[in-house]
Amino acid sequence: MIPSRALVAFLLGLLISGCASLPGHVERIESTALSNTDETRLAKAVRPGTSAHPGKSGIHPLPVAEDAFAARIVLTQLADRSLDLQYYIWHGDTTGQLLWEAIWKAAERGVRVRLLLDDANTGGLDPTLAALDAHPNIEIRLFNPFANRGFRAGDFATDFARVNRRMHNKSFTADNQVSIVGGRNVGDEYYGANMEVGFQDLDVMAIGPVVREVSREFDLFWNSASAYPAASMLPPADSDSAARLREKWDQVHKSPEAQRYIEAVRQTPLLRQLAGNQVDFEWTTARVIHDNPAKVLDRTDRKDLQMLPLLTEALGKPQNELDLVSPYFVPGQGGTKTLTTLARNGIKVRVLTNSMSATDVSPVHAGYSKYRKELLQSGVTLYELKPGIAVPPPDRDDDKSRGLPGSGSRASSAASLHAKTFAVDRNRIFVGSFNLDPRSAHLNTEMGVIIDSPALAGRLAQQLDMAIPKAAYQVRLKPDGGMEWIDRTPQGETIHTTEPGSGALKRGWINFLEILPIEWML
């Protein structure tokens, strides 16, 4: 049979594009976070709190989607000297464009902007990134970039071992005075602007000493060998590129969807609290932990480059309880052994992850499902978030412990868990980008903050006590050794004997994926 012309063209394109390579010599001008920011507006705003709590960091959780976006916009507007932004994903949708416009306006008034983006999800954005990078006060670097800008499959075909490793970190720092760290990327699904798809996520806003740690982490990645100046990878912007950006932003502001979202953000109490310097911070000790950026270039799985041992040490050995929230939960044999040993020794271990019908990555669910029975047999409690469930946040003047971690204010038809948070003994809690899976442990780089906070850790435990059993299926063993899913609703309990909301075809696909040797990639 003669191959189709489309196949021939594809193979020819793959062959040609596979010849592309990264620049051999790249000039990287080293830069670090600005330290002389004590007279900025943000420094003056946080000074009363930091002065009254020497050595402590102020932590404010951002579980509500619109609050998380409002915080970033306000920090961008208030920044006087610098913005350091590090993200795995930055979409060119409504919220992505609004944030780009905000940092452009900051740059126009003299703010130095450093934007470090992982290159895995920048497809189609090269003209926008080049136009932003052309601004004299904006510098963009692409982490572990694709040599083939138009046909990325070429890199996967010829340089898979490298491009399979990504920078999954997320941080946002203004004037080296205020940072936001957590699970949210930049895109409508993370900030409640998409009614079709929505992620339930969690960030924390921090002030005090921990901000300097976030800045050191950013500098380490910014100056690393894997961070390529955008100008070394992208075609130069033309003379009309800035005008096209402004035209695009004007179009965004005119769209009814953006207008509704902007108004919703304006109505968030957090926006008023930020404007009036009335944000309620918890003052405690906090520390940043992160992978070494050299991890993406390493092929030996060196533990000294990895964050997981630091995370385990920082959280400490549980004495009573371990609560884990991970949208992509693939414990593997080692993790399963650790959790089952804890449970058999009397430690209360609870896990919240996505159900088959809620997950956005089927292979990950296949990687998780093969360990369910072993976990359940040892006494681990498993909850799987129901599809489309976005528990409305409680009254903003009330205790937020009744909402899910990362609750959005509006439900979407395909809501999915995206928060990554772990708590030990209702005393210490981690919030960051790390998933409990092999990819986070061995392939991607990650970061997060460990917080000594009975209030925040206790809130997660209360959610697992009260809200989550109603918003998630509880997986349970049957007397015959099979599994069942308990669906608790106001009308009572329903017991499912197969994965709820899934058809035979999807279950068969998951069963097939379980036998493939792909767990190391998940």
Identify the pLDDT of residue 19: 60
Dihedral of CA atoms 224, 229, 230, 231 in degrees, nearest 10, equals -160
- For residue 422, list its beta bridge partners: 324, 430
Asked if 135 and 107 count as a contact pair (C-beta separation under 8 A), the reply is yes
Name 428's bridge partners.
424, 452
Cα 302 to chain centroid distance, Å, stands at 24
> Could you count the other beta carbons within 10 Å of the beta carbon of residue 387?
18
- What is the pLDDT, as a whole number, of residue 308? 94
Virtual torsion, Cα 303, 307, 309, 313, nearest 10 deg: 150
Tokens of 169: 């970190």
CB 451 within 8 A of CB 284: yes
Q: What's the pLDDT tens digit per position in 422-443?
A: 999 999 999 999 999 999 999 9
Residue 521: C-alpha distances to residues 186, 437, 490, 509, 518 (Å): 24, 9, 40, 18, 6
3-state SS, residue 360: coil
Q: Say yes or no to pLDDT of 400 above 80.
A: no
Cα angle value 388/389/394 (rounded, 5°): 145
Where does the pLDDT of residue 4 fall: very low under 50, low under 70, confident under 90, or very high at 90 and above? low
SS3 349: strand
Distance CA 443, CA 90 (A): 20
What pLDDT is attached to residue 508?
86
Q: Which two tokens stand for residue 427?
A: 């005393």
CA atoms within 13 A on the CB side of 443: 16
* pLDDT band at residue 5 under the 50/70/90 scheme: low
Segment 160-204, tens digit of pLDDT: 999 999 999 999 999 999 999 999 999 999 999 976 778 889 999
Task: Give the alpha-carbon dihedral of 184, 363, 117, 273, to 10 degrees.
Answer: 0
User: Both ends of the chain: CA-CA distance in Å?
Assistant: 37
Residue 4 burial (C-beta neighbours within 10 Å; 0-12, 13-18, 19+): exposed
Confidence class for position 396, pLDDT limits 50, 70, 90: very low
Rounded CA-CA distance 145/368 in Å is: 30
DSSP per residue over 37-106, as a string?
-TTSHHHHHHHHHHHHSTT-EEEEEE-SHHHHHHHHHHHHHH-SSEEEEEES-B-SSHHHHHHHHHHHHH
User: Whose CA is closest to 453, among 489, 422, 416, 482?
Assistant: 422
Correct CATH for 53-275 of 3.90.1200.10, 3.40.50.1820, 3.40.30.10, 3.30.870.10 = 3.30.870.10
Domains in the chain: boundaries: 53-275, 287-521
Q: Would you say the CATH fold of 287-521 matches that of 53-275? A: yes
At a CB cut-off of 8 Å and minimum separation 6, what does 504 contact?
none
What is the identity of the amino acid at 307?
M
The first and second tokens of residue 398, run together, are 């009330």
Helix (H/G/I), strand (E/B), else coil: 10: helix
Query: In CATH, which of 3.30.870.10, 3.40.50.1000, 3.50.50.60, 3.40.1190.20 is domain 287-521?
Result: 3.30.870.10
pLDDT at position 407: 45
Confidence of residue 6 (pLDDT cuts 50, 70, 90): low
Residues marked active site are found at 168, 170, 175, 418, 420, 425
Q: Say how far apart CA 222 and CA 293 lie, in whole Å.
A: 9
Cβ-based neighbours of 130, under 8 Å, separated by 6 or more = 230, 231, 234, 235, 236, 237, 241
Average pLDDT value for the chain: 90
For 398, other C-beta atoms within 10 Å of its C-beta total: 10
The widest CA-to-CA distance across the chain, in whole angstroms, is 78
| Residue type, position 164, single letter | N
What local confidence, expressed as pLDDT, does residue 411 receive?
45
401 — pLDDT class (breaks 50, 70, 90):
very low
Residue 112: what pLDDT? 98
pLDDT tops 90 at residue 299: no
- CA 257 from centroid of its chain's CA atoms: 24
The residue ranking higher by pLDDT, 506 or 313, is 313
Segment 204-262, tens digit of pLDDT = 999 999 999 999 999 999 999 999 999 999 999 999 999 999 999 999 999 999 999 99
pLDDT at 309: 95
pLDDT band at 503 (very low <50, low <70, confident <90, very high): confident
Task: Put the strands of the sheet holding 227-229 in their side by side order.
Answer: 227-229, 138-143, 112-118, 82-87, 171-174, 178-182, 203-207, 57-62, 282-284
Phi, psi of 174 (to 5 degrees): -115, 125
Cβ neighbours, 10 Å, residue 361 = 14
Residue 175: name the closest of 54, 80, 64 by CA: 80
Confidence at 20, pLDDT banded by 50, 70, 90? confident
* pLDDT over 80 (residue 397): no
Q: Single out the residue of 359, 349, 466 nearest to residue 405, CA to CA.
A: 466
d(CA 518, CA 215): 35
